[in-house]
Amino acid sequence: MASCKFCLNNSVDTWFGNWCDKCHRLQRIIHLFTIDKVMSVLDNVLIVNDDVQEEKIKEELKCELTTREYKLRERKNKNKSKPLPTLVECDEK
Ligand SMILES: [Zn+2]
């Protein structure tokens, strides 16, 4: 099968097609949210300057530290019958 003409990475999803299944999905997402919305999300999330990137790294670390602290507390309280507060999951990135 030929390679996708959009991403140039994957094989096309149909014999006479030009795009792979992921690029077709991306096309449907663009139709759903408009190209401007998709570009704005990509710019804000993936393309970041140093200041913003530093803030995102700090947020990631804060979340990681909170999760570790909770796990440590959970281990300490394992033998006690006192119920634990529920863990707030970090956002998936
Ligand atoms: Zn593709």
What is the pTM for the complete model shown?
0.51
| Ligand 1 center to 24 CA (angstroms) | 7
Model pLDDT, residue 33: 95
| Ligand 1 center to 32 CA (angstroms) | 18
Nearest residue to 69 via CA among 87, 56, 93: 87
- Sorting pLDDT into bands at 50, 70 and 90, what band is 89? low
> For residue 3, which phi and psi values (nearest 5 degrees)?
-85, 155
| Ligand 1 center to 50 CA (angstroms) | 30
CB 23 within 8 A of CB 6: yes
| Ligand 1 center to 25 CA (angstroms) | 9
| Ligand 1 center to 17 CA (angstroms) | 11
Tens of pLDDT, residues 25-71: 999 999 999 999 999 888 888 887 777 777 877 888 888 888 888 88
Burial of 31 (0-12, 13-18, 19+ CB in 10 A): exposed
